[in-house]
Structure 1
Amino acid sequence: MEKKNGFFKKLFGGLEKTRQQLTNRISALVSGHSELDEEFYEELEEILILSDMSFDTVEALVQEVKKRAKKMGATESKLAESLIREILIDWLTNHPNEAKPKSKPHILLVVGVNGAGKTTTCGKIAALEKRKGQQVMLAAADTFRAAAVEQLMVWGERAQVPVISQGQGADPAAVVFDAVQAAKSRNIDLLICDTAGRLHNKKNLMLELEKIHRVLKREAADASIEVLLVLDATTGQNAVHQAKTFHAITPLDGIILTKLDGSSKGGVIVPIVQELQIPIQFIGVGEGLDDLQEFNAEKFVDALFPETVDKA
């Protein structure tokens, strides 16, 4: 419990810049307007767009606020914050993010551009799941980026989980093949595969991921396989673009949002879920081994709208 409270504290601190950009401005807007009128809604739209939500998402959110306010017969602007909070929780929890494993191992194929924190995230997920009592293994299938294999080996040591690798330049699908065989022979619960992030070369990346998928479906036909995309929260709307691009290359099952600490663009989480209908599975708020946790919509929104929670 202490760790969870500690993580919430980090999340709260990490979202400080987003609160300044979003929540504090909404509070100021509410203070300056007594009624939920068109002028209020126009200014609300502007605030939401500046918080790195897309126009489509902002329009949908404002329309939903209007709809709920009308249903309640509410006209006072002070209700806006609690309505926005309710809507965000509804949107962010609409999609189940727990895959049901079939047979061992459950496989996570982790994708993302270089620099998003993909390899680091693989190590943190391994540590998180090991703390839950899972037998975890890492596969170093990002053989393209210099030092990616060595970096994953270091994270494997920190998380105290085995890492299957063949070194830089090896065939990623061959690494995954070896990892699946090793995972099955060692009765591993969770196999996490780090992959290359060459988004600038979509054709090669697509071919590589297709080949890895073929190996997984052949060698682990009865296992559940999830493709998770790592996104850097500090990139804002570019993260949404990356998600759309990767989703076109390989259908995504979930998003891991990193670097929320110190970013003013935490609002990007909303269009990712709302527009792409892809759930957020994990969020990261720091560099430490324990600074990645499963996403909880209510806690995330609580950290964004703390005063609203206190009033409730």
Structure 2
Amino acid sequence: MKDSKKTSFFSWLSSTIRKKNREKKSNNTEEINKKNDFLLEKEIVQTKKENIKSDQDLYDLKNLSIKKNDLKDQNSITLDNNVNNLETFENKNINFFSRLQSKLKKTKKFLGDSIHHIFLSKTIDKILFEELEEKMLLADIGVKTTDRIIANLIKEINRKDLQISEKVYFLLKKNMFNILKQVEEPLQIFNHTPFVILVVGVNGTGKTTTVSKLAKKYKLEGKSVILAAADTFRAAGIDQLQILGKLNKIPVIAQSSNSDPAAVVFDAMMSAKAKKIDVLIIDTAGRLHNKFHLMEELKKIIRVMKKIDSCAPHEKILIVDACNGQNTIQQTDMFHQALNLTGIIITKLDGTAKGGVIFSLADQFQIPIRYLGIGEKTEDLGVFNSKEFIESIFSSR
């Protein structure tokens, strides 16, 4: 019975040999990605360091970027020729699990390894559950979710009269898996042309770079994509999105700095509709969740969309930074109240030990988690998979 449970619950992936064969096929494509991502990161860092004092400075910076991108376009052509192959693209998705395992080391050490160490005591008693509660709280799983997990675990133990720590450890992982499974719902692009995705979040969560990664992913799937630069208040926000769009050969609809974001969205929707574009992704300005007038601005943007398409936006995605831990709970609550969110993307999981916050988000809001971000490269944005996430945290490697 013990072996059958483990087989059904932990058989996440294919054999190591199949994985290595897939990775070998995509090595050339990943090398090209690294070269392009290095050029892109260098360009964005240079842009951020500039002290832009006037519109003329911004104009000069943009012209300079376009000249440099003439060289990048040659690489982009090579990149497109390599990744448009469907098998190569699917291999990238498969390989995301191996990257997830390597990038979640901090959360694994702080949450998975520390919990496993508790169960090495082999004694199921009050002290074990007190230590378990402490470890889960320190990993930013949150009070409510921690209490619920432990309460469910104690019920199962009493019902099954279990005193073997290994079986209790298995039940714990199963309960945590069930929490994540309920929000495992990949985003489906269909039924609307254009399919409009509104991207929101607080400052510094990585919205613009995530928008670019999403756009590139959908383009590689064969969809036509347009971006809307509705972040009109950040000094280099428009320019950053245009550089990313230029690199990936994706059109960007923009107006001048400090223009009305709703006007930008209106132009983008009209353009996307006229050209029968598959996906329109709207990058909005970062805003604190407790600033009423900024949240009202997002509602205005949605009202403008609905004048063109009563169903728009078809997806309202909140970008949250995993490094913010339990602060993301309040952010999500406020944005959800204002916009009725339909999806979440969690970024920067590679740089934090607070990855346990994903359990709180899933448990308290039941909003689908669409993607996870574990790095700067396009392939570091992957579709959320609850089995892979649990295995990455609790694996014995």
Please tell me the TM-score bracket, short chain as reference.
over 0.9
Identity over aligned pairs, percent: 42
- From 366, 378, 384, the equivalent of 1:295 is 384
For the aligned residues, what is the CA RMSD? 1.8
What residue in structure 1 maps to residue 61 of structure 2? none
- From 286, 306, 309, the equivalent of 2:395 is 306
What residue in structure 1 maps to residue 138 of structure 2? 50
- Note the C-alpha offset of 1:36: 2.5
Per-residue Cα deviation, 1:146-201 (whole angstroms, up to 9, x for no partner)? 11111111221233211111121111111111111111111111111011112166
- From 240, 245, 248, the equivalent of 1:159 is 248
The structure in which a higher percent of residues are strand is 1
Counterpart Cα distance in 2 of 1:54 and 1:147: 36
- Asked if structure 2 preserves the Cα contact closer than 8 Å seen for 1:54 and 1:237, the reply is yes
1:70–1:207 CA distance, 2 compared to 1 (3 A): same
What residue in structure 1 maps to residue 211 of structure 2? 122
Counterpart Cα distance in 2 of 1:253 and 1:101: 15
After the TM superposition, which residues 63-142 of structure 1 pair with which residues of structure 2 at under 5 Å, given as runs?
63-95=151-183, 96-99=185-188, 101-142=190-231
Counterpart Cα distance in 2 of 1:79 and 1:120: 43
Unpaired segments ≥5 residues, structure 2: 1-89
What residue in structure 1 maps to residue 128 of structure 2? 40
- Note the C-alpha offset of 1:252: 1.2
Counterpart Cα distance in 1 of 2:144 and 2:92: 37
One-letter amino acid matched to 1:70: N
Counterpart Cα distance in 1 of 2:168 and 2:367: 26
1:202 paired with 2:294, answer: no
1:267 paired with 2:344, answer: no
The structure in which a higher percent of residues are helix is 2
- Note the C-alpha offset of 1:243: 1.2
1:159–1:72 CA distance, 2 compared to 1 (3 A): farther
After the TM superposition, which residues 229-268 of structure 1 pair with which residues of structure 2 at under 5 Å, given as runs?
229-268=318-357
Secondary structure of the corresponding residue to residue 110 of structure 1: strand
Counterpart Cα distance in 1 of 2:308 and 2:378: 31
Counterpart Cα distance in 2 of 1:25 and 1:204: 43
What residue in structure 1 maps to residue 369 of structure 2? 280
Per-residue Cα deviation, 1:235-259 (whole angstroms, up to 9, x for no partner)? 1111222112222222211111000
- From 211, 220, 235, the equivalent of 2:300 is 211
Secondary structure of the corresponding residue to residue 137 of structure 1: strand
Per-residue Cα deviation, 1:76-125 (whole angstroms, up to 9, x for no partner)? 11123322222222111213444564321111110011111011110011
1:13 paired with 2:102, answer: yes
1:176 paired with 2:265, answer: yes
Counterpart Cα distance in 1 of 2:201 and 2:114: 32
Counterpart Cα distance in 1 of 2:265 and 2:169: 47
Per-residue Cα deviation, 1:290-311 (whole angstroms, up to 9, x for no partner)? 211111111111111113xx9x
Secondary structure of the corresponding residue to residue 193 of structure 2: strand
One-letter amino acid matched to 1:87: N
1:191 paired with 2:280, answer: yes
- Asked if structure 2 preserves the Cα contact closer than 8 Å seen for 1:16 and 1:262, the reply is no
Counterpart Cα distance in 1 of 2:311 and 2:337: 25
Unpaired segments ≥5 residues, structure 1: none
Higher RCO structure (Cα 8 Å, ≥6 apart) = 1
TM-score (norm 1): 0.93
TM-score (norm 2): 0.74
**Which of these two proteins has the greater Rg computed from alpha carbons?**
2
One-letter amino acid matched to 2:158: K
Aligned length: 307
One-letter amino acid matched to 1:197: G
1:285–1:142 CA distance, 2 compared to 1 (3 A): same
- Asked if structure 1 preserves the Cα contact closer than 8 Å seen for 2:349 and 2:372, the reply is yes
Counterpart Cα distance in 1 of 2:169 and 2:315: 35
